[in-house]
Structure 1
Amino acid sequence: MAISVRPEPATLLLLLLAAMSIPLALSEIRSMKIQSDPRPIIPLDEFGFTHTGILELNVSQIALSNPNPDLDLSQLGFFLSTRDAWFHVLQQIQDSDISCVLQSRLVKIVYTFDRKGQPNSFSTVFSETDPGQYTIVFANCLSNVQVSMAVRSSMYNKDSATGGRDYLSAGTAMLPQIYFLLFLVYASLAAIWVFVLRRKRQTSFRIHYFMLAVVMLKALNLLCEAEDKSFIKRTGSAHGWDVLFYIFSFLKGTTLFTLIVLIGTGWSFVKPYLQDKEKKVIMIVIPLQVIANIAQVVIDETSPYGRDWVTWKQVFLMVDVICCCAVLFPVVWSIKNLREAARSDGKAAVNLMKLTLFRQYYIVIICYIYFTRVVVYALTAITSYRFLWTSIVAGEMATLAFYVFTGYKFRPEAHNPYFVVADEDEEAAAEALKREDEFEL
C-alpha cells in the first residue's frame, strides 16, 4: 500500500530557501552521507549551469526505515529546481494540484527510486541544456519513512571548444583570475608600505609594522584562494589549498579586527599602552574569530544537506556581526575620552583636533561593515547568476578602499594629527579653544 503525505509548503520553503541563500556557492565534487533522515526536502548543492551543464549522480547504501514492498518509490527521488520554479511549486502544493514535489512539471526530475535496478544503489548522468542557477534536491514524500544513503554529486559545465570540464558555477568561473589580480594589488601595496617604512623610520611606530603584517596576510589569503578556486575549476577538488585558505583567512580576519581595535584605542599613536577594557575587547574578538572560522569551514565543507547546516550558518552570521560591533567600542571610547578631556588642559585640547579624525575613521568603519555585510549579500541576491562574481569584486573593492584609507590616514608622517604633538602645538590649540569658549559666551 502506498503511503504519501503532502509536505507543508512553509517547511518546504524554508528548507529549500536555506540552500538557495548560500552566497556564491562554489560547487565541486561532493560526497555526502545521509543517515536516517526524515526530512521531506533535503537540499544538496547549488550550481549555475550553462547550456552544456552536466550532473553526475552516484547513490549507494540506500536503506529505508520502512521495508514495506508496497511503498510507492516514485515518491522518492532527486530533482533540480530554480528559485522561481520553486515558488510556483509551492503554490501547486498549496492549491492541492499535486501531492508531491516530484509530480510537478516545473522541476526537472533527475532520478526516482522506482527506476533503480539494484536494490541499494544507482548511477545517472543528467544533461542540463537550459542555463540557470539550480539547486539539486532530494525529495521524500512518504510519511514515516527515513532515508539513509551515500550520495556523490558532480556538477560541471563543459567547454564547447575543448570539451574540458569547469567545476566552478557559471557565475564564478572568473574567480581564480580575479583573486590572483587582487593578490598582485595587495602585494604591491605591501611593497609600497615597506618602502614608506624604510624612508620614515624615525616616525614609524610598532603599529605600522602590524599594518604591514595585515596587508601581507591579506595578500597570502588571496593567493591561496586563487589556487583553491583554480584547482576546483579544473578538477572539482581543492587538493589541500582550502586548508591554507582557511588558515590565512583566520589570521587575516583576526589581525584586521585587532588592528581596528588598536587604532581605535590610540595605541602606539597617542599612548603606548592599552587599558583593561580595551584588552578585553581584543580577548573577545580573537576567540569569536576562531568560532566564526570553524563555522565557515563547516558551512563550506558540508553543504546544506547536513541537518545542522542552517544552525552553523546562523552561528557564523551572528559571530561575524558581534565581531563587527565589538571593534566599534574602542573608537567610541576614544571619541568620548577626547571630548571630555578637551576642556581640561592644553594637551587634551590638542586631542580635540584628533577627535574629528577619529569620527571620520568611525564613519568609515561603519560604512565598510555595512557594505561588506549587507550590501554585498543584497547584490548576491539580486544579481543574475551569470554575474555573481561582481558581488565578490564589490566586496573586495570595498575592503581594498578600507585598507588604503587606513594606511593613508595613519601613515608615518611627523605632523600626522593622530600622533603625539609638540608643546607649542598644545599651546596653540589651547589658545584656539579659549577663543572658541569666549565666542560661545
Structure 2
Amino acid sequence: MNKPATAEQPSRFPLRELSLCLALAAAILAVYAIMGGAYSTRMLVEAACYAILALGLTIQWGYAGQFNAGVMGFVALGGVCAMTFSVPVNEAFWASELPFELGRVLLYALAAIVLVWGATRLDRLGVPKTLRTLIAVVLALLLYLVVISLLRGVTDEIESRVGFIGGLGLPTGVGWVVGGALAGGVGYFIGHICLGLRSDYLAIATLGIAEIIKAFLKNSDWLTRGTATVSPLPWPTPGPGELGFVMARSIYLVVTALIIAVIFFLLHRAYNAAWGRTIRAIRDNEISSAAMGKDVNRRRLQIFVLGCILMGIGGAALTSFNSIFDPQGYLPLNHTFLVLVMVILGGPGNNLGTIIGAVLVYLIWIMSEPLALYLMQLASSLGEGLGWVDPADMQSRALQARVLVIGLLITLVLRFAPKGLLPEKVKHHG
C-alpha cells in the first residue's frame, strides 16, 4: 500500500532578514567612521539596553496583544535596584538607630496591609459584601494616614542627619537581577488589577502607574536622593578609568549582547513551543481559547510579568551604564514611546525584527541631532550672502529635530509597512 504523500513547505532563504542585518551593519560602520569609536560604542551599548526593553514589550504586545504604556515605570524600578545594590554603604546611616526605626515603620505597613486584606475576606464570616467593602476602604484610609505619618517622621530624620540610606555595596549584577524581580513583582500585582481591562483602558492604567512610580522615586529623597541624583554608579565590568572609553564600553557591549542572545534563545524556544501557541491563540480569540479549557487569565498574567522582568533588567543595565540615577531622567518620550516605535518598526511578535528595530531606531534617534545641526549650519553659511539672520540656539533646535524625525519615521512605517520590517511569522500546521 502506498503511503500518502505529505506536502512539506520548502524552507525560505532569509533574504529579507539578511538584507536588513547587512544594511544595519553598514549604517553602524558609517556612524563609527563619522563619530569615532568611543561615541559609537556608547550608542551601541545604549541601543542594546533598549533592545532588552523592546523585547519585553514585544512579548506583551506582539505575543499577547497587551498594550503596556507604562514601560517607563518598570525601567525606573530596574534603575533604582541597580543603584541601591551597587553604590557604597552609608556607614552613618547604619551606625545610627535609624535602620531600626525605619524597619519598625515598614513592619507597621506590612501589618496594615494584612489587616486590610483580612477585611476584604469578612464576607466569608457572613458580613454583607457592601459592608465588607466599606469596612475595608475606611480601614485602608485610616491605616494609610497612620503609617504615612510615622514614615514621614523617620524619613525626615534620615534626610536631615545622613542624607539618604545609601546602597548595599554588592556586585552590580545582583542589582540587575533584583531589578528584574522587582519589576516582575510589581507587574504581577498590577496584572491582577489591570489585565481585565482591554486595549486603550489598559494603556491608560499602565501609564498612570508608571507616573506614580516616577513620582514616588522623585520625592523619596531618603531612598534615592530625589532630584540630587546618585552618581557615579559602578559597572559590572572594568570602567573607562581602567581600560579607556572604547575598550570599557566594548566589554559592556559584549555583556549586554550576551544577555540579548540568551533572552532571544529562550523566547524563540518558548514562542515555538506549546506555551507560545497557547499565548497566540488567546491573543487571536480569547473566547474560543477559554472554551477549549485554557486558563486565559493565568497565561495573560504570565506574559505580562515576563515582559516586565525584561524591562526591569534592561532599565538596570541602562542606568548602570549611564552611571547616574536621576528619577527625573525617566521620561515617557524616551522610555515608553521610543520603545514602542522600536517594536512597531521591527515587527510586533518578531524577536529578530524587534532587535533590529531597536538598534535602527536608536541610531536614528541619536544621529538625527548632529545631522540636523550640520544642515542648519550649512543653511546658515549659505544664507550669509543673502543677508539671512542666523537662528538663535541652533543646538537646542537640532535636539528638538529628533522628535520630528521619529514622528516622520513612524508615519512612514505605518503607511508602507504596518506590520513592521519583519512581520510576525506564525506556522500553520495542517
Normalising by structure 2, we get a TM-score of 0.23
Structure scoring higher RCO (CA < 8 A, sep ≥ 6) equals 2
Higher-helix-fraction structure: 2
Higher-strand-fraction structure: 1
